[in-house]
Structure 1
Amino acid sequence: MNEKSHGPLHGLRVLEMGQLIAGPFCGQLLGDLGADVIKLEDPAKGDPMREWGRERPEGESLWWSVVGRNKRSVTCNLRTPEGQALARRLAAKADIVVENFRPGTVERWGMSYEELAAENPRLVMVRVSGYGQDGPYSQRPGYGSIGEAMGGLRYVVGDPSTPPSRTGISIGDSLAATFGALGALAALQERERTGRGQVVDSAIFEAVLALMESTVPEFQQTGYVRERTGAILPNVAPSNVYPTADGAWVLIAANQDTVFRRLAAVMGRPELADSPAYSTHGARGERQEELDALVAEWTAGLDAAVLEKMLEDGAVPFGRMFRAPDMMNDEHYRARGSIIEVAHERLGTVAMQNVFPRLSRSPGSVRWPGPPLGSHTDEVLARDLGLDDDEVAQLRAAGAV
Structure 2
Amino acid sequence: MTRTPLEGIRVLDLSRVLAGPSCTQTLADLGAEVWKIEHPAGGDDTRGWMPPDIGGESTYFLCCNRGKKSATVDLKSETGRAAIRSLALEADILVENFRIGALDAMGLGYEALAEINPRLIYCSISGYGRTGPRAAEGGYDFTIQAESGLMAITGDPGGQPMKLGVAITDLVTGMNAAQAILAALYARDRTGRGQNLDIALFDSAVAMLANVASGYLQTGKESRRFGNAHATVVPYQLFDTSDGTLALACGNDAQFRAMCEAALERPDLPADPRFTRNRDRVDNREVLIPVLAEIFSGRATGEWLTKLETAKVPCGKVRKVSEVFSSPEVMKRGLVIEVADPVHGTLKLVRSPLNFSDTPLAEPTAPPRLGEHTDEILGRTVMEN
TM range (shorter): over 0.9
Alpha-carbon offset, residue 336 of structure 1: 0.8
Residue range with higher mean Cα deviation, 311-320 or 286-295: 286-295
| C-alpha separation in 2, matches of 1:301 and 1:366 | 49
| C-alpha separation in 1, matches of 2:74 and 2:216 | 48
- Paired residue for 1:157? 154
| C-alpha separation in 1, matches of 2:217 and 2:359 | 44
Alpha-carbon offset, residue 271 of structure 1: 2.5
User: Contact conserved, 2:123 with 2:199, CA < 8 A, in 1?
Assistant: yes
User: Contact conserved, 2:83 with 2:378, CA < 8 A, in 1?
Assistant: no
| C-alpha separation in 1, matches of 2:120 and 2:339 | 32
Query: Which structure 1 residue ranges, 5 or more long, are not aligned?
Result: 392-401
1:261 to 244, 257, 262: 257
Is 1:56 matched with 2:68? Answer: no
| C-alpha separation in 2, matches of 1:104 and 1:234 | 42
Q: Across the two proteins, how many residue pairs are aligned to each other?
A: 384
- Paired residue for 1:250? 246
Alpha-carbon offset, residue 214 of structure 1: 3.7
| C-alpha separation in 1, matches of 2:2 and 2:372 | 25
User: Contact conserved, 2:92 with 2:120, CA < 8 A, in 1?
Assistant: yes
Query: Which structure 2 residue ranges, 5 or more long, are not aligned?
Result: none
Q: Secondary structure at the match of 1:38?
A: strand
Alpha-carbon offset, residue 86 of structure 1: 0.4
| 1:268-297 C-alpha deviation (Å, 9 max, x unpaired) | 112222221211111111121332222222
| C-alpha separation in 2, matches of 1:159 and 1:365 | 42
- Paired residue for 2:286? 289
Alpha-carbon offset, residue 186 of structure 1: 0.9
1:385 to 366, 372, 381: 381
- Closer, same or farther: CA 289–5 of 1 in aligned 2, 3 Å: farther
Alpha-carbon offset, residue 106 of structure 1: 0.7
- Paired residue for 2:192? 195
| 1:192-246 C-alpha deviation (Å, 9 max, x unpaired) | 1100000110011001111111444433442201111111122421111111211
Is 1:106 matched with 2:103? Answer: yes
- Paired residue for 2:315? 318
Alpha-carbon offset, residue 7 of structure 1: 2.8
Q: Secondary structure at the match of 2:210?
A: coil
| C-alpha separation in 2, matches of 1:35 and 1:298 | 53
Alpha-carbon offset, residue 6 of structure 1: 5.2
| 1:139-197 C-alpha deviation (Å, 9 max, x unpaired) | 11222222222222111111122221110111111121111111111111111110000
| C-alpha separation in 2, matches of 1:13 and 1:138 | 28
| C-alpha separation in 2, matches of 1:219 and 1:324 | 35
Is 1:77 matched with 2:69? Answer: no
| 1:307-360 C-alpha deviation (Å, 9 max, x unpaired) | 211111111101112232111111111111122222333333332221122111
| C-alpha separation in 2, matches of 1:65 and 1:6 | 26
- Paired residue for 2:238? 241
1:134 to 128, 131, 134: 131
1:211-230 equivalent positions in 2, closer than 5 A: 211-230=208-227
- Paired residue for 1:30? 27
- Paired residue for 1:115? 112
User: Contact conserved, 1:152 with 1:209, CA < 8 A, in 2?
Assistant: yes
Q: Secondary structure at the match of 1:25?
A: helix
Alpha-carbon offset, residue 5 of structure 1: 5.3
User: Contact conserved, 1:30 with 1:181, CA < 8 A, in 2?
Assistant: yes
- Closer, same or farther: CA 345–200 of 1 in aligned 2, 3 Å: same
- Closer, same or farther: CA 235–112 of 1 in aligned 2, 3 Å: closer
| C-alpha separation in 2, matches of 1:104 and 1:230 | 41
| C-alpha separation in 1, matches of 2:364 and 2:2 | 12
Q: Secondary structure at the match of 2:356?
A: coil
| C-alpha separation in 1, matches of 2:349 and 2:321 | 10
- Paired residue for 1:177? 174
| C-alpha separation in 1, matches of 2:362 and 2:296 | 41
